[in-house]
Amino acid sequence: MFNNHIFRKGLVFGVLILFIGLSTIPLTEGLGEVINYIDTVIDGLYYLRDDDPLNWEDVGSLKKDSPIENETTRCGMFVNFHFNQSGIYTRESKIFNIYYHLWQKSFIQELEYEVGYSTSSEHAAGFNESIWIDTNDYISEVYDFRLIQAMQYTNPYIATFKGNDIYNFTIKIFGPNPYVLCNPNQYSFVILNLEDNDTLQNYDRDDDFLADYDELFVYFTNPFDRDTDNDGYSDYSEIVYGTDPNNYYDPYEPNTHPDIPTIQGPLQGKPGIRYEYRFSSSDPDENEVYYYIEWGDNQNENWIGQYSSGKEIAISHIWDENGIYTIKAKARDINGAESDWGILKVNIPRNVVHYNTLFLRFLDQFPILKRIFSLIK
């Protein structure tokens, strides 16, 4: 006869084993016991991303991925940005020199923010080091957000991290109602371990023809992004055309100069006779164009127009003297961008060979003579 007590004990034990067996498999994965080792050093560009764009959150992330939609990290007093906490960093990282590029809401005027870093895991801990930035010293203003920039030089290192220590590094912004905007056209970022100025002068890491130094300290654009404001025009072309490389909503389209005008017409002529020449220039932006024409005899047509892009216009001219003249024409679009010169040489010679009609009629009577004459001509 079974001892009822032992049977019950066995049943409980069996159920317990079954429960542990069932629960440990998902638990090991669900709680992250499969450790994510991250073989990378902490440096370079990090976007200040919001972890939960729908909520009023004061904590965001430092991420390598740029935002694909609108994110705002905000709070009444301070916002913090941490590294991703889902792994263990296998290499040691030292952190120094921090560059800040921050889009801040500008609804309160004359606003100062304290910006810096903390190496405490305390959520509301103060700064290890900080600087003050004033939103009145803004670089760009797009609607009610202002772009502000700052550089925090640290010497030599502010922290050395390995493993999980890296989670204790926080970029902090403190002040009345900090709003940190991050969207594809206006994103906030920091650059950690920024190189010295000589090195930055020699880098163009995004191949947009602007040195990293100029991007960071002259134009305040992103040295890792060819088109910082994502408006379809590279940082370089915006600077060349005078538009704002940090403003997606530029009021003016970048402008391209018209093509070199083509010049067509007689290559020879006589003095005192009116000859007609045709000019045409196409503008890549389809802007209307003006023409400036020099006839080579100190006479010119002074910015005539405006004409549709690519339209052929006819203008006539009389050369009073014999000579070889160079017709030069350039086009200018309505925005003021000029083409290079188009050129056509015209010979108004001293002795123009021409046959009077009587002589031609005479030749008609003698076909062989006419043939010989045409051969020697």
User: Which residues of the chain form contacts with Ca ion (CB under 5 A)?
Assistant: 204, 206, 208, 210, 215, 221, 227, 229, 231, 233, 235, 238, 247, 250
Q: For residues 293 and 337, which CB has a smaller minimum distance to Ca ion in the complex? A: 337
Q: For residues 250 and 333, which CB has a smaller minimum distance to Ca ion in the complex? A: 250
Q: 327: which residues sit within 8 A by CB, 6+ positions away?
A: 263, 277, 293, 294, 295, 296, 343, 344, 345, 346
Look-up: residue for tokens 């009629």?
361
Q: Are strands 37-38 and 170-174 parallel, antiparallel or unpaired?
A: unpaired
Q: Smallest distance from the beta carbon of 120 to Ca ion, in angstroms?
A: 34
Percent helix, percent strand, percent coil in the chain, to nearest 5 = 20, 35, 45
Which contacts of 363-372 are long-range, i.e. CB under 8 A and separated by 24 or more positions? none
Q: For residues 127 and 224, which CB has a smaller minimum distance to Ca ion in the complex? A: 224
Q: Smallest distance from the beta carbon of 225 to Ca ion, in angstroms?
A: 5
Helices (H), the chain: 4-30, 197-202, 212-217, 235-241, 357-364, 367-376
Q: For residues 220 and 279, which CB has a smaller minimum distance to Ca ion in the complex? A: 220
Token duo for residue 366: 């003698």
Question: Using omega within 30 degrees of 0 as the cis cutoff, is the peptide bond preceding 349 cis?
Answer: no
Q: For residues 209 and 341, which CB has a smaller minimum distance to Ca ion in the complex? A: 209
Q: Smallest distance from the beta carbon of 250 to Ca ion, in angstroms?
A: 4
Q: Smallest distance from the beta carbon of 26 to Ca ion, in angstroms?
A: 46
Q: For residues 227 and 294, which CB has a smaller minimum distance to Ca ion in the complex? A: 227
Q: Smallest distance from the beta carbon of 206 to Ca ion, in angstroms?
A: 5
Q: Smallest distance from the beta carbon of 246 to Ca ion, in angstroms?
A: 7
Burial category of 173 from C-beta neighbours within 10 Å (exposed 0-12, middle 13-18, buried 19 and up): buried
